[in-house]
Amino acid sequence: MSMETPLTKNIRSDGEAPDLKAYQAAGGYESAQKALRMAPAEIMEMVKQSNLRGRGGAGFPTSMKWSFVPMGNDAPHPKYLVCNADEMEPGTFKDRLLMEADPHQLIEGMIVAAQAIEADIAYIFLRGEYTLSAQRLEKAVYEAYASHFLGKNIFGSGRNLEMYLHLSAGRYMCGEETGLLNALEGKRANPRTKPPYPQVSGLWGKPTIVQNVETLCNLPHIVANGAEWFKGLSRTKNGGTKLYGASGKVKRPGLWELPMGTTIREILEEHAGGMRDGVKFRGLLPGGASTDFLTEEHLDVRMDFDEVQKVGSRLGTGTMIILDDKTCPVGMCWNLEHFFAQESCGWCTPCWSGLRFAARVLRAMEEGQGQPGDIEQLEFQSWFCAPGNTYCALAPGAVEPLQSAVKLFRADFERHIREKRCPWRS
Amino acid sequence: MAQTTIYIDDKPHDVDAERNLLDVCLSLRLNLPYFCWHPAMGSVGACRQCAVKLLLSDNDTKGRLVMACMTPVVKGMRISVEDPDARKFRAGVIQGLMENHPHDCPVCDEGGECHLQDMTVMTGHDYRAYRFPKRTFRNQYLGPFLNHEMNRCIQCYRCVRFYREYAGGDDFNVFKLRDIAYFGRKEDGVLENEFAGNLVEVCPTGVFTDATLKHHYTRKWDMTMAPSVCVHCGLGCNTTVAERYGTVRRIVNRYNGAVNGYFLCDRGRYGYEFVNSAHRIRTPRVRLNGAVQQPSKAQALQHLGSLLTNGRKVIGIGSPRASLEANFALRTLVGAGNFYAGMSDGESRLVSLMLEILRSSPARTPSMRETESCDAVLILGEEVTDTAPRLALSLRQSARQQPMQDAKKLRIPLWQDHSVRELLQDRHGPFFIASVSATRLDDIATQVYRAAPADIARLGFAIAHEIDPSVRGVDHLSPRLRPLAQEIARALTNAKGPLVVSGAGCASESVIQAAANVACALCHAGKKTGLTFTMPEANSAGLALLGGANLSSAFQAAKTGGVETAIVLENDLFRRAGREDVDIFLKSIAHVVAIDSLENETASRAELVLPAGTFAESCGTLINNEGRAQRFFRNVPPETEILESWEWLAEAMSAKDEKSWRNLDDVILAMTQAIPLLAPVANAAPLSSFRIAGDKVPREPHRYSGRTSILANINVSEPKPPEDPDSPLSFTMEGAPVEPPSALIPFFWTPGWNSIQSVNKFQAEIAGDLVGGNPGVRLIEPASGAAVNYFANIPAGFERRPGEWLLVPLHHIFGSEELSNSAPAVTELAPKPYLALSEADASQIGAGPGDDVEAKLGGSALRLKLRIVPALPSGVAGIPVGLLGQPMLTLPAWAGISKLK
């Protein structure tokens, strides 16, 4: 079966990124020029027809996100387009590949998005540790400016688009849409209340769209090939391809561009090569660290936004973390909750207190100091951090692996308390 | 106010549709706990303490939790406060907050009036499940006002929101994250913001506590408290003064929806310590032929009586820091013709001018609450933060008015604090400051103009002319100034409610007249215009309304002979006039009687000194800068030797066999009859005969402890509580358990709400008026159809003189006010005397910062340290006023300045 892999087609085997010339030779920047000849509403309609949904984790329809941006002559300016390249979700490394391997694709996607919302200024908010991405993006932005693809009167269209690469000073919280905006403004990366949404009052109080790298990278291909083509790439209703990843004790951990809706089993067995010899599959987090565990019975679930949700988890970033039978689920939860507790911005009580409480309990269990009532405490803290109870999505996401692990692997939690030790530790 | 019906636990309630659910629940007197929300600062949704269940329809039993503070009222909505999930969640929040809390209530200054304690009890959380170590912090030295104990912090973010976002401070922040967020400064040091003391009340627990209270600590329940009015500037902020064992322990804010709202300035909060000062005059004193005697009260009165009945002329010198009643008593005793107001000539002229303007101008002085909604501001010649500090905090909110309209357009509720701030960013509405030197509001100013007083006045006149061309224009206006005047005129004219602020600060009548012209022109243009004048002292306005000639007239009267006795009421003449003049005056009077509370040079020169009660030992009325008469009540039981000023004078009247007064009511009554203009003063607060169910309002809280044992070492019989014939407040804990009229609220405290946050329960609506209306009555309202009268005396532009500088007064929040100069915490922050020049001017005399310089004026020479103040205009030198050890100067004045070798 021949598969189209628009996002990764330019990736070179020598590890270098195509420069502007090479990117253009492969048809690059034609979509940008085409988009600049289109009315914003046309682009929006095309993207709407394509069923493109946000690849940052929440899966929000891209065209709908755009539709809340005030348009027309009365709209406030400058409007901002922000690329969320602060990829910090544990187990997630898909955006990194796109930025390192084909930086111009992202820039072109941003030009298309900027045209769709009539943005004047664009930022790439990049995770600070992604130094290779930073180098390559910086070079690519420079090349694009030099060729007048960015700046004033881009492609002779009369439109202006300034683009800046901003390296994050760190913290997971900066990846949250509104925390990112605060960080970009030079403030603490505390999240903001919604509403008002960034589309109305975002960066510096102006209309702003924040979008994930992978989402933006899809745009040139939709503009080039049309909505129907894009929908056709997918095996389900969500359009396009998806970068799927697998980490854990599989034979070939990695990242693959596959049709949206590829089953977990196919990714796990065909692409990741199945479990390593001597270990057995116990479960997986389908879309990065802040999604609920799925188990054996879910292996034939199609990895798209709707299908994964139906079985009680989320597609998230589409990069799965696999739990095997030689790894302690309590220990895994401790690792994750410790991370999330460390990364809480400290704004709302459930997050800064609840996650820490949960992490401390998990650590106690791992260290043989679990007590009766601890499981109930973990359940309470998971409920305490549920969506709506917290200020942003960090804590609700953070407790997704925990709440599902307590349900699915309850016996293991109980054993920790009963035996006063971690059965996986010798 | 749009009303709508919502259902709370199945009961229908009519509520304000513009508010959030927490606000309406509290307005309905429901007990819904909260931390991060603050009625003056709005909602940010951080603590998650106010969760309620939102039910989506009549049949919905599941619903979902929402944060009441973040949820707007929607017509017909159903919520449940009592829902089990909501209760469980709220208890969970307390569990979370208490994980790190040290549980050190017994040794915490906040204990017994702690919002965290109250909310903990309210949620029912009582069992500690968290068995892991708590985080600990190092505390900081933050200056003489605040104690820092970070381990108690529950991360509600109120402090940093108040300090940075509301009060505009910069040197305080939140550091780190997760459960180790740290609220403090980058390093130890005195907090720079003039409103930092409010953190004591803004902090819901004991992280920030009153450092002065710590020196003489007492629990709230053991304090005797009374409603009072701040005496440290002319704004009349309402305060609650607390006493135990005869000493004043602290001041806290007394909410007045029109005046100070929720906040005080630090001079107002910490100036009180002068009451406990070692420099208090506590006993009568007679100095005869060089020998000092301490007579009894009766002997002192006899002495005074002999001076009054010897048939010789007696004059009285009143005081702008004494109550209306004290001044009126003196005026009555000596006769209106022999009563002098006791303000310096310059000040007297300025205050009379300001009052005259206020009483005739079509512009109205807004209350500080109303000031916050003025949407364009022009400040002419006033360093507001230093002369009328609390007003600066209100003006800071005014600057947000115009940009906030954008939030309304986007339908962001204004209580959604951070959303509004994120939208506004650092945008400010039109806010113009013309001043001699830098001000603490410059950071929000659209434009600042630094100039000598004459040029500030000229700018004002030019603005008035731009608004109303029929006003005389300014000749030879500099080309630089014209566009500025036009810009300001445009901004003020385009505003909905422009405000002009000026005052006695730069000692210029022209500046005041210019401000009046601008306000008048705006009124003429059909604008609802505010005109605020700051007043130099707590009762400057009252004294001016009472009348009385200025000090030089008194000096003149003494010179022309015939005056044998002068009674000086709460006044140190050396702060009012030049040393020589006062010397001559005091020497020319055979008998000087000083009635005062603190030692000062006038008292030290007097033949008879009578110990007067301070605000804490007295009752009376003060009139603030907006013409609001407000009554203050003593909270310290009268000592045998100390009397209120008016009481000394009333006793003296008895000695003269004149009809005297039995209590304060009689004084007020006599005053309102004698001076009809002051008639409303009687209504400033209920008179002493007021009772609730036959009882007075108790000053002691219901939990006052140890009453019967306090003096048991002296006598096991409980003494009779002190009488207070002057007020409807008693020195007991007995009284009807109902809320007293707003002017008599001795403390904010309701069952379950032991902290000052209980003020919610005393308000008609949250952050609105107190039940029954805010205390005080306004005496000055603009006459309807007041004639538009413009001043036309435009001064010539400032011309610098070779070798000479125009000395202008510079004010300091800490240091320029007389009484707070005896409060140790305040004096710690007061500057030492100095002379200020701009860098360029300093280099002209070859001097640098810290050098000794000499200023020669009017035949005398002053030796001072030089301070470089870059904002000062060329040719102008600044000199701080009122500092300890700084001689009184009549300013502005020209002086030669040179560097001393």
Quote the pLDDT of residue B561: 79
Residue B624 touches chain A, beta carbons under 8 Å: no
- The architecture in CATH of the region B804-899 reads Beta Barrel (2.40)
Q: What are phi and psi of B618, to 5 degrees?
A: -130, 165
Quote the pLDDT of residue A1: 39
Can you tell me the mean pLDDT for B604-608?
96
Give all strands of the β-sheet with B224-229 in edge-to-edge order.
B224-229, B238-244, B247-253
* Matching residue, tokens 């804490």: B616
Distance between CA atoms of residues B320 and B326, nearest Å: 10
What's the residue count for chain B? 901
For residue A344, the chain B residue with the least C-alpha distance is B178
CB contact under 8 Å between A204 and B425, yes or no, is yes
Sign of CA dihedral B597, B601, B603, B604: positive
Sign of CA dihedral B304, B307, B311, B313: negative
CB contact under 8 Å between B422 and A390, yes or no, is no
Based on the fold, state whether residues A201 and A313 are members of the same structural domain. Answer: no
Where are the extended beta strands (E) located within B132-256? 146-148, 173-175, 182-184, 208-210, 224-229, 238-244, 247-253
For residue B422, the chain A residue with the least C-alpha distance is A205
Sign of CA dihedral B329, B330, B333, B336: negative
pLDDT in tens, A309-346: 999 999 999 999 999 999 999 999 999 999 999 999 99
The SS3 call for residue B828 is helix
* Matching residue, tokens 């999604």: A291
Distance between CA atoms of residues B434 and B401, nearest Å: 20
DSSP string, B335-364: -GGGEE--S-HHHHHHHHHHHHHHHH-S-B
In-domain check, residue A4: no
Can you tell me the mean pLDDT for A274-284?
97
Interface test with B, best of A353, A377, A379 (most B CBs within 10 A): A353
Nearest to A388 among B66, B93, B96 (CB): B66
Give all strands of the β-sheet with B777-778 in edge-to-edge order.
B620-623, B628-632, B777-778
Helix, strand, coil % over all residues of chain B, rounded to 5: 35, 20, 45
Q: Which residues from chain B sit within 8 angstroms of residue A342, using beta carbons?
A: 178
Distance between CA atoms of residues B782 and A106, nearest Å: 65
Quote the pLDDT of residue B640: 77
CA distance B622 to chain A (A): 44
Based on the fold, state whether residues A285 and A369 are members of the same structural domain. Answer: no
Distance between CA atoms of residues A77 and A205, nearest Å: 10
Q: What percent of chain A has pLDDT over 70?
A: 99
Paired tokens of A180: 């990112």
Beta bridge partners of B314: B565
Can you tell me the mean pLDDT for A274-302?
96
Based on the fold, state whether residues A205 and A128 are members of the same structural domain. Answer: yes
Q: Is residue A426 scored above 80 in pLDDT?
A: no
Cα–Cα nearest to B36, from B97, B87, B113: B97
Task: Tally helices (H) and strands (E) across chain A.
Answer: 18, 8
Cα–Cα nearest to B895, from B791, B800, B813, B770: B800
Paired tokens of B102: 């040290």
CB contact under 8 Å between B179 and A344, yes or no, is yes
Can you tell me the mean pLDDT for A195-217?
97
Distance between CA atoms of residues B119 and B28, nearest Å: 18
Q: What percent of chain B has pLDDT over 70?
A: 100
Distance between CA atoms of residues A379 and A369, nearest Å: 18
Quote the pLDDT of residue B2: 87
Residues 194-223 of A with CB under 8 A from B: 195-196, 200-201, 204-205
Distance between CA atoms of residues B325 and B341, nearest Å: 13
CB contact under 8 Å between A205 and B425, yes or no, is yes
Paired tokens of B216: 């003489």
If one counts every other C-beta atom within 10 angstroms of the C-beta of residue A256, the result is 20
Distance between CA atoms of residues A72 and B575, nearest Å: 65
Based on the fold, state whether residues A171 and A313 are members of the same structural domain. Answer: no
Based on the fold, state whether residues A299 and A368 are members of the same structural domain. Answer: no
* 3-state SS record for B256-299: ECCCCECCCCHHHHHHHHHHHCCCECCCCEEEECCEEECCCHHH
In-domain check, residue A131: yes
Quote the pLDDT of residue A343: 97
The CATH number assigned to the domain holding A83 equals 3.40.50.11540
Going from the C-alpha of A150 to that of each of A153, A245, B93, B831, the distances in angstroms are 8, 32, 49, 56
Q: Is residue A2 scored above 60 in pLDDT?
A: no
Burial of B783 (0-12, 13-18, 19+ CB in 10 A): exposed
Computed over every residue of chain A, the mean pLDDT equals 96
Residue B412 touches chain A, beta carbons under 8 Å: yes
In-domain check, residue A241: no
CB contact under 8 Å between B96 and A357, yes or no, is yes
> Residues of CATH 3.10.20.740 domain(s) within chain B?
3-98
Dihedral, CA of residue B509, residue B512, residue B518 and residue B520, to nearest 10: -100
Beta bridge partners of A320: A246
In-domain check, residue A1: no
Which residue among A324, A353, A374 closes a domain? A324
Residue B62 touches chain A, beta carbons under 8 Å: no
Residue B170 touches chain A, beta carbons under 8 Å: no
Based on the fold, state whether residues A288 and A226 are members of the same structural domain. Answer: no
Paired tokens of B858: 């009017």
- List the domain range (segments joined by +) for residue A283: 248-324
Residue B414 touches chain A, beta carbons under 8 Å: no
Q: Is residue B311 scored above 90 in pLDDT?
A: no
* Matching residue, tokens 């959380």: B125
Q: Which residues from chain A sit within 8 angstroms of residue B174, using beta carbons?
A: 188, 346
Beta bridge partners of B286: B293, B608
What's the residue count for chain A? 426
Q: Is residue B53 scored above 50 in pLDDT?
A: yes
Distance between CA atoms of residues A107 and B302, nearest Å: 95
Q: How many domains does chain A have?
A: 3
Distance between CA atoms of residues B880 and B857, nearest Å: 16
Residue A340 touches chain B, beta carbons under 8 Å: no
Residues 114-153 of B with CB under 8 A from A: 129-132
Can you tell me the mean pLDDT for B774-797?
88
User: pTM of the entire structure?
Assistant: 0.97
Sign of CA dihedral B460, B466, B469, B473: positive
CA distance B434 to chain A (A): 30
CB-defined contacts A:B, below 8 A = 109
Q: Which fold has domain B348-535?
A: Dimethylsulfoxide Reductase; domain 2 (3.40.228)
Quote the pLDDT of residue B656: 78
Cα–Cα nearest to B607, from B889, B885, B291, B274: B291
Q: Which residues from chain A sit within 8 angstroms of residue B405, using beta carbons?
A: none
Give the right CATH number for B3-98 from 3.20.20.140, 3.10.20.30, 3.10.20.740, 1.10.287.130. 3.10.20.740
Based on the fold, state whether residues A131 and A41 are members of the same structural domain. Answer: yes
CB contact under 8 Å between B423 and A196, yes or no, is yes
Residue A347 touches chain B, beta carbons under 8 Å: yes
Distance between CA atoms of residues A106 and A123, nearest Å: 12
Going from the C-alpha of A374 to that of each of A360, A396, B29, B124, the distances in angstroms are 10, 19, 38, 21
* Matching residue, tokens 């390296």: A167
* Matching residue, tokens 């608004």: B467
Interface test with A, best of B180, B420, B422 (most A CBs within 10 A): B422
Nearest to A193 among B65, B131, B418 (CB): B418
CA distance B873 to chain A (A): 35
Quote the pLDDT of residue B885: 85
* 3-state SS record for B532-549: EEECCCCCHHHHHHHCCE
Nearest to B179 among A192, A195, A356 (CB): A356
Nearest to A354 among B46, B96, B410 (CB): B96
Cα–Cα nearest to B701, from B745, B764, B649, B642: B745
Residue A390 touches chain B, beta carbons under 8 Å: yes
In-domain check, residue A15: no
**Amino acid residing at B403:** P
Distance between CA atoms of residues B340 and B552, nearest Å: 9
Based on the fold, state whether residues A264 and A334 are members of the same structural domain. Answer: no
Q: Is residue B367 scored above 90 in pLDDT?
A: yes
Q: Which residues from chain B sit within 8 angstroms of residue A185, using beta carbons?
A: 425
Q: Which residues from chain A sit within 8 angstroms of residue B132, using beta carbons?
A: 357, 360, 364
* 3-state SS record for B372-427: CCCCEEEEECCCHHHHCHHHHHHHHHHCCHHHHHHHHHCCCCCCEHHHHHHHHCCC
Q: Which residues from chain B sit within 8 angstroms of residue A356, using beta carbons?
A: 99, 178-179
Q: What are phi and psi of B898, to 5 degrees?
A: -140, 160
CB contact under 8 Å between A349 and B412, yes or no, is no
Based on the fold, state whether residues A319 and A335 are members of the same structural domain. Answer: no
Q: Are A252 and A272 spatial neighbours (Cβ–Cβ below 8 Å)?
A: yes
Interface test with B, best of A184, A339, A348 (most B CBs within 10 A): A348
Paired tokens of B681: 């003063």
Q: Which residues from chain B sit within 8 angstroms of residue A380, using beta carbons?
A: 92
pLDDT band at B639 (very low <50, low <70, confident <90, very high): confident
Nearest to B48 among A346, A350, A371 (CB): A350
Sign of CA dihedral B107, B108, B109, B115: negative
In-domain check, residue A426: no
Decide the pairing of beta strands A319-324 and A241-248. parallel
CA distance A274 to chain B (A): 38
Which residue among A168, A203, A233 closes a domain? A233
Residue B89 touches chain A, beta carbons under 8 Å: yes
Distance between CA atoms of residues B558 and B536, nearest Å: 26
In-domain check, residue A156: yes
Q: Is residue B39 scored above 50 in pLDDT?
A: yes
**Amino acid residing at B553:** S
pLDDT band at B711 (very low <50, low <70, confident <90, very high): confident
CB contact under 8 Å between B419 and A193, yes or no, is yes
pLDDT in tens, B645-660: 999 999 998 877 777 8
CA distance B788 to chain A (A): 41
Q: What are phi and psi of B483, to 5 degrees?
A: -60, -35
> Residues of CATH 3.40.228.10 domain(s) within chain B?
348-535
Give residue B247's region: left, alpha or beta (phi > 0; psi -120 to 50).
beta
pLDDT higher at B705 or B178: B178
pLDDT in tens, B739-769: 899 999 999 999 999 999 999 999 999 999 9
- Expressed in angstroms, the distance from the first to the final Cα of chain B is 69
CB contact under 8 Å between B410 and A196, yes or no, is yes
For residue A186, the chain B residue with the least C-alpha distance is B425
In-domain check, residue A12: no
CA distance B245 to chain A (A): 42
pLDDT band at B540 (very low <50, low <70, confident <90, very high): very high
Residues 273-292 of B with CB under 8 A from A: none
The SS3 call for residue B146 is strand
CB contact under 8 Å between B423 and A192, yes or no, is no
